[in-house]
Amino acid sequence: MKLIALLIIALIVTTNAETFQRDSSEPRAVSSSPLALPFKRSWEYLTDSASSLPPTIDGDRIYMPLEGGRVVCLDRETGSLKWTSEPGGSITSSIVAGEKSIYIAVRKLSQDGADGGASIKALDKQTGLTLWSRDYGRAFTSPLVLSGARIYAGSADGSFYALSAESGDTIWKVATQDVVRGRALVTGQVIYFGSDDGAIRAVEASGGGVLWKFQTGGKVTGRPASDDRTVYFGSGDGYLYAVELANQKLKWRARTGAAIEASIILAGDRVLAASFDNFIYAIDRHSGNRLWKRRSDNRIAAEPIVVGDATMIAPLRGGYLAVFLNSDGRSINYFQMDRGVEIVADAVFSGDTLAIATDRGLVVARMVQQSEDRMNAKSK
């Protein structure tokens, strides 16, 4: 029975991995990216209160939001619990870490389960104690972005907010025609963000003045990308857009088979976009021509991780992470979760640490350097 189970698992791994491979007769892909190194499970934090939000790696700690408005702080090396905080409500965004504080967005619930407003809270990084809390009328619906002394966030009230990281007070806000869910791109003096009204907007960081907006036929929920000449973003209408910053005119658009909700990634001379048709697309940055596409067994809504010449994806509700070359999409690495475990949020990679949010809690893996791999092989 054990042999049969092992054969089944091996078949599953092979089948999933081949969706990111070309013809098996091709030469083995070579990459200089650390993502190409083997990953070994280091520790896990299992819980019945797992949320669909990603963890946050900050220095020697990992912060993890849980259901029921609870936050746990774990030692990055060992996974031991440093503190637990229960600010209450329902956490609606991944945690962002500043120098002394971490920030969370919380949706309040009334006794009948209806939306009771929201708050932004700052917690002490060392103790988890609440430093301050500011209330707002509607829930924050986008990932928080911390830049300097400001927090940027989109809201269910259709506005995009700039908040003080010292107090949570509103510095300015920009109204749109629908919910703002997408993570903002902060570049110097200009901020780009999308809205469910189908538009991407460029606003002044100083005062929130709208510089321009570009309308699409679907919701814009992922983070845009920019190379200082062009801004690239996906839409629920299935297109990847490239808009010139100098004149705000469409440079090109590339069609995919379904909505694009994940953040757009720049990788050298190409743009990477994950579509809800389960494909990753590589598009030429200058012409908009498709260079290649590769299929996943699950939808890709999480933000891909790009390091050097390789990209890692964590398909939603999948049980694996795949790494492929940016040049042609060939598979170069693969990390299999335990059978039955599903990935529920963005994977996070920092230094040598890979943190994966699953439906059973947090799994942390580390890169195995080649010298360490050889030593382990000799000891067996």
DSSP code string of 296-318 = -SS---SPPEEETTEEEE--TT-
CA-to-CA separations, 23 to 281, 330, 331, in angstroms, rounded: 18, 9, 11
Determine the length of the chain. 380
Q: Which three-class secondary structure state does DSSP give residue 372?
A: helix
Nearest to 323 by CA among 333, 336, 335, 309: 333
CB of 299 closer than 8 Å to CB of 313: no
Residue 100 DSSP symbol: S
Q: What is d(CA 62, CA 77) in angstroms, rounded to the nearest whole number?
A: 9
> Residue 297 has what pLDDT?
83
Phi, psi of 116 (to 5 degrees): -110, 25
Q: What is d(CA 119, CA 144) in angstroms, rounded to the nearest whole number?
A: 12
Q: What is d(CA 112, CA 153) in angstroms, rounded to the nearest whole number?
A: 27
CB of 79 closer than 8 Å to CB of 90: no
Please give the structure tokens belonging to residue 102. 């971490």
Residue 140 DSSP symbol: B
Q: What is d(CA 375, CA 102) in angstroms, rounded to the nearest whole number?
A: 39
Q: What is d(CA 354, CA 91) in angstroms, rounded to the nearest whole number?
A: 22
Compute and round to an integer the Cα radius of gyration of the chain: 21
Phi, psi of 302 (to 5 degrees): -80, 155
Dihedral sign for Cα 190, 192, 224, 363, please: positive
Residue 10 DSSP symbol: H
- Helix H or strand E segment including 292: strand 290-295
Residue 338 DSSP symbol: P
> Residue 26 has what pLDDT?
55
> Residue 19 has what pLDDT?
52
CB of 184 closer than 8 Å to CB of 191: yes
In the chain, how long is the greatest CA-to-CA distance? Answer: 66
Q: Which residues contact 186 (CB under 8 A, 6 or more apart)?
A: 145, 147, 152, 205
Give the per-residue SS3 of 73-94: EEECCCCCEEEEECCCCEECCC
Please give the structure tokens belonging to residue 182. 């997408």
Domains of the chain: 1-54+303-380 (2.40.10.480), 216-301 (2.40.128.630)
- Helix H or strand E segment including 7: helix 2-18
Q: What is d(CA 264, CA 273) in angstroms, rounded to the nearest whole number?
A: 5
pTM for the whole structure: 0.88
Dihedral of CA atoms 115, 119, 125, 128 in degrees, nearest 10, equals -60
What is the chain's pLDDT, residue by residue, as a tens digit (380 residues)? 444 443 333 333 333 334 544 445 555 678 899 999 999 999 999 999 999 999 999 999 999 999 989 999 999 999 999 999 998 889 999 999 999 999 999 998 776 666 678 999 999 999 999 999 999 999 999 999 999 999 999 999 999 999 999 999 999 999 999 999 989 999 989 999 999 999 999 999 999 999 999 999 999 999 999 998 999 999 999 999 999 999 999 999 999 999 999 999 999 999 999 999 999 999 999 999 999 999 988 888 888 999 999 999 998 888 999 999 999 999 999 999 999 999 999 999 999 999 999 999 999 999 998 655 544 545 55
